[in-house]
């Protein structure tokens, strides 16, 4: 990294624009940073996240790659061996599987396998999650597969401000990072004036208390953080004070921040779009239970996508947790009447 970091002044910026600015800064500050992927160059990516970067930095810094995900990641491994800092893009969540072997068997393990001699400072960007009315394979939440893989770090920004710094911190990280971008928020705007001063910048592995509260701890990440903040606002009307935690880092999980909150509130709700079984909610619920069982007033509650292949888009509103379903989970954590009451005899 050069001593003098180049940054551009940002005003009202979209989530996608913040990522674009973060990528631009990373490319400008380190000549070893390379972007690669399908359609990312001339087109600027199907979501335009890399818009203009090839024109600015050249075809050798922003590579349009052949249409082969295993090849993109595998080639990036070789580039990392050679001292580059590749930032491959996987076009959509559901297309990461052809690269799964390279990610799990190579990217995640080479540092361990070589006794620390070879580092793989790769950031794999993946737009993820539903809510944009896409066809099959374009709305998935595959994060748990990667969270379960030692050797990888997994993160997800929840806002333009988070996106701007998190992408730069991920690229600067010496470990491989899977970077999940909540695609349905790409067009959300936020005023980023003064962001380059880095006042709210957190370390890559830290969770953020997105809103303070007293009665319930509500943990989420990526696309649902915004919904959870709305849940907290809605609950306020009923006198319920919710503390919202934006996980930010899915691996490792910052249990310190969650635990401190649960010790205060005694109640935990976790929300994610991904399926319930084996999901991050299970990990967080267990981790918190192990750490502060005696502070819990109620069993942890998970509000998640059902255990289904992602459904046709006309049905996605029934699948992705929304404000009301998360509120229902909050009710459950507070022992108030909720959708589970009749199953639990309450």
Partner 1 sequence: MSLQIDRSAHMEFSSAGDDHFEQMLKPCGDRVPNALNDPWVNDLSEEDLADLYTDMVVIRRLDTEATALQRQGELALWPPLLGQEASQVGAARAMQKDDFVFPSYRESGVMVLRGVNPTDLMRVWRGSSATSWNPYDMNVASPQIIIGAQTHHAVGYAMGLAMDGVDAAAVSFFGDGATSQGDVNEAMVFAATYHAPAVFFCQNNHWAISEPVGLQSQTHIAERARGFGIPAVRVDGNDVLAVLAVTRRALDQARNGGGPFFIEAVTYRMGPHTTADDPTRYRDQAELEHWKERDPLDRLSKYLEKSGADMEAIQRRAQEAADKIAAVVRKELKETVEPTPRNLFENVYVNEHPRINEQRDHYGAYLEQFGETLDGTQAGA
Closest distance between partner 1 and the C-beta of residue 266, in Å?
Answer: 24
Q: Which of residues 252-311 bind partner 1 (CB under 8 A)?
A: 252-255
Q: With binding defined as CB under 8 A, does residue 80 bind partner 1?
A: yes
Closest distance between partner 1 and the C-beta of residue 205, in Å?
Answer: 7
Instruction: Write out the DSSP string of 15-61.
Output: HHHHHHHHHHHHHHH-TTEEEEETT-SSS--TT-TTTTHHHHH-TTT
Q: With binding defined as CB under 8 A, does residue 76 bind partner 1?
A: yes
178 or 333: whose CB is closer to partner 1? 178
Query: For partner 1, which stretch binds (CB under 8 A), given 1-9, 145-153, 182-190, 193-201?
Result: 145-153
Find the binder of partner 1 among 1, 2, 8, 66 (CB under 8 A). Answer: 66
Residues 6+ apart with CB under 8 A from 228: 210, 218, 220, 242, 244, 271, 326
Rounded to 5 degrees, φ, ψ at 88 are: -75, 145
Closest distance between partner 1 and the C-beta of residue 279, in Å?
Answer: 17
Residue appearing with tokens 């390279």 = 102
84 or 92: whose CB is closer to partner 1? 84
Closest distance between partner 1 and the C-beta of residue 198, in Å?
Answer: 19
Find the binder of partner 1 among 33, 77, 126, 170 (CB under 8 A). Answer: 77
Task: Count Cβ neighbours within 10 Å for each residue of 36-46 and write b for 16 or more, e otherwise.
Answer: bbbbbbeebbb
Query: For partner 1, which stretch binds (CB under 8 A), given 246-254, 274-282, 292-300, 306-314?
Result: 246-254
Find the binder of partner 1 among 14, 20, 54, 65 (CB under 8 A). Answer: 65
Helix (H) or strand (E) holding 232: helix 224-236
Closest distance between partner 1 and the C-beta of residue 30, in Å?
Answer: 14
Catalytic residue among 111, 137, 138, 148: 138
Closest distance between partner 1 and the C-beta of residue 208, in Å?
Answer: 16
Query: For partner 1, which stretch binds (CB under 8 A), given 100-108, 154-162, 217-225, 311-319?
Result: 100-108
Q: Which of residues 200-229 bind partner 1 (CB under 8 A)?
A: 205
Number of CB atoms found within 10 A of residue 84's CB: 18
Residue appearing with tokens 């996240």 = 49
Note the Cα 312 to chain centre separation in Å.
Answer: 23
Q: With binding defined as CB under 8 A, does residue 39 bind partner 1?
A: no
- Residue count (the chain): 346
User: Is 185 among the catalytic positions?
Assistant: no
Q: Which of residues 167-196 bind partner 1 (CB under 8 A)?
A: 173-175
User: Cα–Cα distance between 115 and 97 in angstroms, integer?
Assistant: 27
Instruction: Write out the DSSP string of 275-330.
Output: ESTTSHHHHHHHHHHHHHGGG-SS--EEEEE-SSSPPPGGGHHHHS--HHHHHHHH
Most distant CA pair in the chain: distance in Å?
A: 65
Name the residue among 100, 109, 121, 200 with its Cα closest to residue 157. Answer: 200
Q: Binders of partner 1: how many residues, by CB under 8 A? A: 45
> For partner 1, what does the binding mask look like between residues 104 and 123, x meaning CB under 8 A?
-xx---xxxxxxxxxx----
Catalytic residues: 138
Which spans of this chain sit near partner 1 (rule: CB under 8 A)? 60, 65-66, 68, 70-71, 73-84, 86, 98, 101-102, 105-106, 110-119, 150-151, 153, 173-175, 205, 252-255
């Amino acid at each position: 990294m050069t001593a003098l970091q180049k940054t551009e002044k940002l005003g009202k910026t979209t989530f996608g624009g913040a990522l674009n600015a973060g990528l631009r800064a990373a490319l400008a500050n380190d000549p070893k940073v390379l972007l690669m992927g399908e359609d990312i160059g001339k087109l600027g990516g199907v979501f335009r996240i890399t818009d203009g970067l090839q024109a600015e930095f050249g075809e050798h810094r922003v590579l349009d790659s052949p249409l082969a995900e295993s090849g993109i990641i595998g080639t990036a491994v070789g580039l990392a061996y050679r001292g580059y800092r590749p930032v491959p893009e996987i076009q959509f969540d559901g297309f990461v599987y052809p690269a799964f072997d390279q990610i799990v068997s190579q990217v995640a393990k080479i540092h361990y396998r070589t006794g620390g001699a070879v580092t793989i400072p790769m950031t794999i960007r993946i737009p993820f999650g539903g809510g944009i009315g896409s066809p099959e394979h374009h709305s998935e939440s595959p994060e748990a597969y990667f969270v379960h893989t030692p050797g990888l770090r997994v993160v997800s920004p929840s806002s333009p401000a988070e996106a701007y710094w998190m992408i730069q911190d991920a690229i600067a990280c010496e470990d491989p990072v899977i970077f999940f971008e909540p695609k349905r928020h790409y067009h959300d705007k936020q005023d980023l004036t003064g962001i380059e001063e880095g006042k709210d910048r957190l370390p890559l592995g830290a969770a953020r208390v997105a809103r303070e509260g007293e009665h319930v701890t509500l943990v989420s990440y990526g696309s649902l953080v915004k919904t959870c903040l709305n849940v907290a606002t809605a609950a306020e009307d009923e006198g319920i004070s919710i503390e919202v935690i934006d996980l930010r880092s899915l691996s490792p999980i910052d249990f310190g921040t969650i635990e401190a909150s649960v010790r205060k509130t005694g109640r935990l709700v976790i929300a994610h779009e991904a399926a319930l079984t084996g999901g991050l909610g299970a990990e967080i619920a267990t981790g918190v239970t192990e750490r502060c069982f005696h502070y819990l007033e109620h069993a942890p509650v998970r509000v998640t996508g059902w255990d289904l292949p992602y459904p046709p888009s006309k049905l996605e509103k029934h699948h992705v947790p929304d404000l009301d379903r998360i509120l229902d989970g909050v009710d459950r954590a507070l022992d108030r009447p909720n959708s589970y009451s009749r199953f639990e005899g309450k």
